[in-house]
């Protein structure tokens, strides 16, 4: 094989490899997502981008208002956006057997994923601007192959981080640097105990993105986001 042909084969091989690496996880294909969001809020365009992203993975998405949200029956995944009002959603999805992915810390207590005390069991942390988290659970599949240690999911430093205090039964993937009680990414397997002996009726996962932060995710951050959805769906 001459050098020209060798280089042509190499380019094709690299292109095929790159395409394979970028292909969505097949678990997403054909799945139905109920996306609950504050559809009239200032961050509604961000929720629309989340919807488009889920659709790009091969899923069908029904975006609905957080006011009187519908039951989860018939869906494969419920996504509760971080701009929803907890007082309108409350216990709507507490007992659903459909997997849940949320970025709203004020729903964690309703979902049995933390205790009930704001700013002790869940909350919003305002910090000096920083752009990284601390990953702690490699090779857990939720961690998407990233090594333990400092991890940068966003384009630039941000001030606000949502968090929850994981219970002993949680799979903790990431926390705010230096604050292991403030989980940024953690999950519960179906059937484990949550708060006050509540038994998880489905897989549930939390990623602490504030309402405007999905649009700030870089490819590594999106990979972690997608891994959360894939993990939730794989336990259905």
Distance CA(92)–CA(136), nearest Å, equals 32
pLDDT value at residue 157: 87
What confidence score (pLDDT) does residue 13 get? 37
Res 170 pLDDT > 60:
yes
* DSSP letter, residue 190: T
Is residue 168 a contact partner of residue 183, using CB atoms and an 8 Å limit?
Answer: no
DSSP line for 109-122 = TTTTSS-S-BTTTE
Q: Give the torsion through C-alpha atoms of 93, 153, 63, 40, to 10 deg.
A: 100
Confidence check: pLDDT of 132 > 80? yes
Residue 131: what pLDDT? 84
First-to-final CA distance of the chain? 50
- Reading the block at residue 27, the tokens are 């678990």
Read off the pLDDT of each residue in 96-116 and give the average, rounded to a whole number: 97
Q: Which value, to the nearest 10 degrees, does the dihedral of the CA atoms of residues 20, 23, 27, 29 take?
A: -130
Choose the weakest-confidence range: 20-34, 69-83, 85-99, 174-188.
Answer: 20-34
Give every CB contact of residue 150 below 8 A, 6+ residues apart in sequence: 132, 133, 134, 135, 177
Q: Has residue 22 got a pLDDT over 80?
A: no
Helix (H, G, I), strand (E, B) or coil at 234: helix
> Do 75 and 96 contact (CB within 8 A), yes or no?
no
> What's the confidence (pLDDT) of residue 65?
97
Q: Give me the pLDDT at residue 45, please.
A: 97
Q: At residue 83, does pLDDT exceed 80?
A: yes
Instruction: Express each pLDDT in 30-62 by its tens digit.
Output: 999 999 999 999 999 999 999 999 999 999 999
pLDDT band at 16 (very low <50, low <70, confident <90, very high): very low
Are 210 and 227 within 8 A, CB to CB? no
- Residue 32 CA to residue 54 CA, distance in Å, equals 10
Closest CA to 35 of 14, 11, 51, 58: 51
Q: Note the pLDDT tens digit of each residue in 147-160.
A: 999 999 999 888 88
Q: What pLDDT, on a 0 to 100 scale, did the predictor assign at position 233?
A: 98
Nearest to 104 by CA among 150, 164, 35, 59: 164
> What is the per-residue pLDDT for 7?
35
* pLDDT at residue 230, rounded to an integer: 98
Whether the CB-CB separation of 192 and 169 falls below 8 Å is answered with: yes
Query: What tokens appear for 85 in the block?
Result: 């009002």
Whole-angstrom distance, CA of residue 25 vs CA of residue 58: 9
């Amino acid at each position: 094989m001459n050098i020209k042909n060798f280089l042509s084969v190499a380019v094709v091989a690299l292109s095929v490899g790159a395409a394979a690496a970028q292909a969505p996880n097949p678990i997403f294909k054909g799945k139905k997502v109920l996306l609950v969001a504050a559809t009239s809020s200032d961050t509604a365009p961000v929720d629309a981008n989340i919807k488009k992203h889920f659709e790009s993975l091969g899923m069908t998405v029904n975006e609905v208002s957080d006011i009187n949200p519908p039951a989860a029956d018939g869906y494969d995944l419920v996504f509760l956006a971080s701009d929803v009002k907890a007082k309108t959603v409350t216990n709507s999805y507490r007992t659903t057997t459909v997997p849940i992915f949320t970025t709203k810390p004020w729903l964690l207590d309703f979902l049995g994923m933390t205790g009930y005390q704001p700013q002790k069991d869940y909350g919003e942390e305002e910090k000096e601007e920083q752009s990284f988290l601390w990953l702690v659970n490699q090779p857990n599949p939720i961690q998407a192959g990233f090594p333990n240690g400092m991890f940068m999911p966003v384009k630039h430093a941000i001030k606000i981080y949502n968090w929850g205090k994981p219970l002993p039964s949680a799979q903790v993937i990431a926390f705010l640097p230096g604050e292991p009680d403030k989980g940024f990414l953690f999950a519960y397997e179906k059937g484990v105990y949550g708060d006050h002996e509540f038994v998880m009726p489905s897989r549930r996962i939390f990623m602490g993105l504030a309402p405007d932060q999905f649009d700030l995710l870089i490819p590594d951050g999106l990979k972690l986001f997608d891994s959360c959805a894939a993990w939730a769906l794989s336990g259905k």
